[in-house]
Amino acid sequence: MFVHLQGPWNPVWGRLSLQAIPYHNPILVGTFLFAVVIALAAVGAVLYFRAGPYLWREWLTTVDHKKIGVMYCLLGLVMLFRGFADALMIRTQQAIAVGPHSPGYLGALHGYLTPFHIGQVYTAHGLIMVVFAATPLLVGIMNIIVPLQIGARDMAYPYLNALGFWLTAAAAGLVMLSLFVGNFAHGGWYGFLPYFELPYSPGVGVDYWMWAFQLSAVGTTLGSINLIATIVKMRAPGMTWMRMPIFTWASLSTNLIALTSFPVLMVSLALLGLDRYFGTHFYTAGNGGNLMLYNDLFWVWGHPEVYFLILPAFGMMSEIIPTFSEKTLFGYTTMVVASFAIGGVSWGVWLHHFFTMAAEPSVNSFYSVTTMLVGIPTGVKVFNWIFTMYRGRVRFELPMMWAVLALFLLLVGGMSGMMNAFAANDYMWHNGVFVVAHFHMMVLLIAASIFGAVEYWFPKIFGFKLEQRWGKWFFWFMVLGTAWVFVPMFILGFTGMTRRLDYVPYTQWAPYLRVMLVGMAFYVIALVFFFAHLYVSLRDRVKNRVGADPWGTSRNLEWMTHSPVPAYNFAYIPHVHARDEWAWRKENGVASLANESFEDIHMPRNTGVPVLLGALSFVLCFGLIWRIWWLSAASLALVVLVIIVRSFARNTDEVITAKTVAGVEGAVDDALPSAARG
Amino acid sequence: MSSTTDTRIQPGSTVLWDKGDAAGHDILGTRTFGFWLYMLTDAMVYAAFFAAFGVLAHNAGLNSKSVLAAVFNAQGAYRETIALFASVLAYGYAMVALKKGSRSGVAVGTVVALVLGLVFLGMVSGDMERLFGQGIVPQSNGFLSIVFTLIIYHALHIIVGAIWMLVMLAQMGRDGFTSNVVYRLINLRIFWHFQAVIWVFIFVFVYLQGKVI
Ligand code: HEM
Ligand SMILES: [Cu+2]
């Protein structure tokens, strides 16, 4: 039934053998040692502080949307570092391997990475940054903030929420494992057909890529179902559609994109899987396969996906800018319409990712025009933010600084996107570094919004503010790094440099590549400041404790409960009377959070099932990657069994008694100084 | 600097917090709504499959319609259709019984639906076996790859539905009509009807297309 494989295979170990471990590669050995040290330190710390039971009880088995969100963010952060390490390797390789006389180290002819190795590095970089860094960070923040903004006690399906997270974590684990067991795909993050077919890529790299991608797609789809249902069904009384906070609108729009587009990604990958495992002919070069089918299916997901990433970022900017302009958001309705217009148009533009591949001029023109249409709602948003700031009392605190940076990056990224959108232009620089610079502006905009959002909402979740001094250093070095890396990249794009080079033939490009390396140095320094920021904030956490509304000028429901938010979010669900309810209450002098009597609150009970299912699907995919059929079959059977058994569980809820609630509520002090005003 | 809407309400006399009825959300509605969303993702999967079907049918050196006409047995598929539709009908009667609160009615309807679903599966797998025996396999060419993938993916759903029915019979026996059981029965109905709808497309595009057009 399964295709015939080149190379050894046996029924017990599949394709796994000691050769799979890259002990001859010093870089990977170093990475491995680093990972071991980190892992030992983590395990040691858990044992030393006897934190195991606590971690299991409070985190691994949690169904609390805030904790799941925090775990999503931590996962995203770890993967962000991994992706950054990849970027560092690419930039150093390209700075060294310029011209025929450039030196070679560690077995490489030029530079220090062999073509096979750097191929894995840039493939992993792309996949990780899009799917395992940006996505978890955004999903995590939506997970935390959306239920709070709509006055709900949890997500619609808390158990599913945990499951979505653990599937994503398992997928990220697969990518990490590929460093030390086997290898990763080396043909680019979006796949390359028919090159990714078994005859041309016989190793496990493509399988790692495919299954990690697939598993994360399942996790994200489940997450989108949950967020949509939460927004539609769980809003507090009085919160009509047009009173919803704009970040919640952005989340709704973005998750509609995810809900409809991720299944297409699953199909595009599943058909490749059928080709690689069963020998079907979906994308093969012969026997009636069609490689354009892959490109179309993939980018039918791929373009909506980039808007899936950017819409929540827009939502974050729309929350931060009014707060720090001390004004209501300009053009709320147009903002909502624009979010949905962007979501809708994003479905009709995918072909711009392969203008150069066999489409007629009329087809290319059509997709050129639709692509440019995206600029209209995006422009509406930009003007709305600018008009929000106009004549506002703008305070440049850290969240606002990040939001404004995001605005600038959006301008550069959007304009260069428009340039890509001309098919005639794109013929000249498709697959070049101009395109790479374009989408990095976009993705860095997302990163900037995320940093802003974290600065903004951190005190809400953890009850203390992040310090500002090191945070500002971090910010400015990120700005420096971005300028030094990407301005030269745009220039190189104009001079015709193609992307993904393991060796740069023209020595004229060397100065630019070196300048970019300096930019990377700024990023590394920024990273140091980031840790300083984190360390000082944690050290001074008592000093920086805050009350319910730490910025003083926030406007939405999430600021109407204590900081840190208690497990049940709101002791009483608020009634909503206005679009910016919290601002409305402050204006009308009813902004007190004090209540006298309390009631029992029903909450879902923690469960270990999601983490178990995550672990099982990790093993399932591992078995499939190495073609250890018995292992996959066994874990699949267990997955089914666990799901069925869990469906019989009866006590899935628990009650937080009124007395406990009263205890928690009595202990908080909402009147702590709000540092913003001081 | 005023916030946007509805400032007319007098803050002094308005309800600010929701006391008395803490939960207040409609559990059944929330559960079935989420399942509709899931169904939408499955619809997108099928849509992508059918798109691939459309693409792979255009293939130099292969007349897809005559391949379909030569390979697939529309009469057999017609019998499969009857079995599946009858199963959906039976499950529909189970739902009528659920409205009346009749446990035995739901059980009988579900069992009949289950048996008919298995009959459908048996016929489909018989058909597949016949074709595989003749050397007509998904590996033959790109077009047959997608045709078989469609049929088998649909059949996998029927298997899942059958297991689900067994689980529901057990849960109903143990718990009666608790809200968990009821929402799962309703979701199963959505699921089962949806598979019949998809089958209509498969029947038309795979089995009938070659014969009629
Ligand atoms: C104003 C809106 C935008 C326009 C007009 C636009 C246009 C384009 C075009 C035409 C390409 C294809 C270039 C080529 O491959 O030759 C492209 C690539 C890309 N864009 Fe955009 N884009 C826009 C917004 C975004 C956003 C918001 C993101 C991400 C959040 C994004 C991420 C990407 C990525 C990742 C690629 C390249 C993928 C790859 O080849 O690896 N773009 N864009
Ligand atoms: Cu695009």
How far A205 CA lies from chain B's nearest CA (Å)? Answer: 23
What distance in Å separates the CA atoms of residue B202 and residue A616, rounded to the nearest whole number? 33
* Region of poorest pLDDT, from A28-32, A448-452, B79-83: A28-32
Percent of chain A predicted with pLDDT > 90: 89
Determine the longest span between alpha carbons in chain B, in angstroms. 81
Query: Please, which pLDDT band fits residue B13 given cuts at 50, 70 and 90?
Result: confident
Q: Which of A442, A446, A497 to mutate to test the pocket of ligand 1 (most atoms within 8 A of CB)?
A: A442
What is the enclosing helix (H) or strand (E) of A568? none
Chain A residues in contact with B51 by the CB 8 A cut-off are 296-297
Q: How far is B45 from chain A (nearest CA, A)?
A: 5
Local confidence band at A598 (pLDDT 50, 70, 90 cut-offs): confident
CB-based burial of residue A187 (10 Å sphere; 0-12 exposed, 13-18 middle, 19+ buried)?
A: buried
CB A343 near ligand 1, within 6 Å: no
The one-character DSSP state at A187 is S
Is there an atom of ligand 1 within 6 Å of A638 CB?
no
Average of per-residue pLDDT across A51-57: 93
Q: CB contact, 8 Å: A367 with chain B? A: no
Residues of B in contact with A221 (CB under 8 A): 41
3-state secondary structure of A319: helix
Distance CA A532, CA A540 (A): 12
Contact A208, A182 (CB under 8 A): yes
Answer yes or no: are the C-beta atoms of A175 and A132 closer than 8 Å.
yes
Q: What is the pLDDT of residue B6?
A: 52
Give how far the C-alpha of residue A584 lies from the chain's centroid of Cα atoms, to the nearest Å.
33
- Cα A148 to Cα A75, A161, A590: the distances in Å are 22, 15, 19
Question: What local confidence, expressed as pLDDT, does residue B17 receive?
Answer: 86
Atom of ligand 1 nearest to the CA of A446: 30
Q: What pLDDT score was predicted for residue A558?
A: 95
Query: Number of A:B CB contacts under 8 A?
Result: 174
Please check whether residue B102 touches A, CB under 8 A: no
Q: Which residue has the least CA distance to atom 28 on ligand 1?
A: A306
Of B206, B188, B19, B22, which is closest to residue B127 (Cα–Cα)?
B206
- The string of DSSP codes covering B96-130 is HHHHHT-HHHHHHHHHHHHHHHHHHHHHHHHHHHH
**Is residue B141 in a domain?**
yes
Residue B86 lies in a domain: yes
Degrees to nearest 5, angle at CA A549 with A543 and A552: 95
For the CA atoms of A359, B41, A212, A111, what is the dihedral angle to 10 degrees? Answer: 30
Residues of A in contact with B41 (CB under 8 A): 221, 225, 259-260, 262-263
Query: How high is the ipTM of this complex?
Result: 0.94
Burial of A328-350, coded b for 16+ CB within 10 Å and e otherwise, reads bbbbbeebbebbbbbbbbbebbb
What single DSSP character describes residue A464? B
Would you place residue B3 in the very low, low, confident or very high pLDDT band (cuts 50, 70, 90)? Answer: very low
Q: Is residue B145 part of a domain?
A: yes
Distance, in Å, from the CA atom of A88 to the CA atom of A75, rounded to the nearest integer, reads: 20
Residue owning the nearest CA to atom 9 of ligand 1: A420
| Nearest residue, CB atoms, B37 vs list A259, A578, A602 | A259
What is the structure's pLDDT at A284? 94
Confidence at A667, pLDDT banded by 50, 70, 90: confident
Ligand with the closest atom to the CA of A130: 1
Asked if residue B69 is part of any domain, the answer here is no
- Banded pLDDT at B133 (limits 50, 70, 90): very high
CATH number at residue B174: 1.20.120.80
d(CA A600, CA A136): 33
Q: How far is the CA of A469 from the centre of ligand 2 (A)?
A: 38
Average the pLDDT over B47-63 and give the result.
Answer: 89
- Site to substitute for ligand 1 among A295, A306, A350, A368, most atoms within 8 A of C-beta: A306
| A589 part of contact set with chain B, CB < 8 Å | yes
| Contact criterion met (CB < 8 Å) for B41 and A595 | no
Q: How confident is the model at residue A539 (pLDDT cuts 50, 70, 90)?
A: very high
Q: Which residues of B touch A287 (CB under 8 A)?
A: 140-142
Nearest chain A Cα to B148, which residue? A280
**d(C-alpha A155, C-alpha B8), whole Å:** 32
Q: Indicate which residue's Cα is closest to atom 37 of ligand 1.
A: A439
pLDDT value, residue A651: 83
Q: Identify the three-state secondary structure at position A573.
A: strand
Residue B11 reports pLDDT greater than 90? no
Residue B21 has pLDDT above 80, yes or no: no
Residue B174 pLDDT greater than 60, yes or no: yes
Helical segments of A463-568, H only: 469-494, 510-539
- The ligand 1 atom nearest the CA atom of A429: 16
pLDDT confidence band for B122 (50 / 70 / 90): very high
Beta bridge partners of A464: A545
Is residue B111 situated within a structural domain? yes
Range of the domain at B159: 27-56+75-212
Residue of B26, B48, B149 lying closest to A263 (CB–CB): B48
Window 161-180 of B, Cβ < 8 Å to A: 163, 167, 170-171, 174-175
The chain-wide mean pLDDT, for chain A, equals 94
B2 contacts on A by Cβ (under 8 Å):
328, 587
Confidence class of residue A677 from pLDDT cuts 50, 70 and 90?
A: very low
Are A267 and B49 inside 8 Å of each other by CB?
yes
Which domains are delineated in chain A? 51-607+652-667 (1.20.210.10)
Domain presence at residue B139: yes
pTM: 0.95
Q: Is the pLDDT reported for residue B23 higher than 80?
A: no
pLDDT attached to residue B63: 83
In short, whether A375's Cβ falls inside 6 Å of ligand 1 is: yes
| Structural domain contains residue B103 | yes
Rounded to the nearest 10 degrees, what angle do helices B142-175 and B64-71 cross at?
50
Residue B174 CA to residue A569 CA, distance in Å, equals 35
pLDDT in tens, A168-185: 999 999 999 999 999 999
Grade residue A675 by pLDDT with cuts at 50, 70 and 90: very low
> Residue A605 has what pLDDT?
93
Position B8 confidence tier, pLDDT thresholds 50, 70, 90: low
**Is residue B4, in this structure, part of any structural domain at all?**
no
* pLDDT of residue A102 exceeding 90: yes
Average pLDDT over residues A234-241: 93
Host H or E run for residue A328: none
Locate the chain B residue with the closest alpha carbon to A596: B19
Closest C-alpha residue for ligand 1 atom 7: A417
Residue nearest to ligand 1 atom 2, measured at CA: A414
A654 by DSSP, 3-state: which? strand
The one-letter amino acid code at A56 reads: W
CA distance A273 to A270: 5
Collapsed DSSP state (helix, strand, coil) of residue B156: helix
pLDDT at B2 over 50: no
What is the mean pLDDT of the segment spanning A194-223?
Answer: 96
Bond into A22 cis (ω within 30): no
Q: Is the model's pLDDT at B104 over the cut of 80?
A: yes
Give A-chain residues touching B45 at CB under 8 angstroms: 263-264, 266-267
Q: Which protein residue has the closest C-alpha to ligand 1 atom 22?
A: A417
Q: How many domains does chain B have?
A: 1
**Is-contact A533 A471, C-beta < 8 A?**
yes
Residues 374-433 of A with CB under 8 A from B: none
What's residue B213's pLDDT? Answer: 56
Q: Is A310 in the pocket of ligand 1 (CB under 6 A)?
A: yes
Report whether residue A533 contacts ligand 1, using a CB cutoff of 6 Å. no
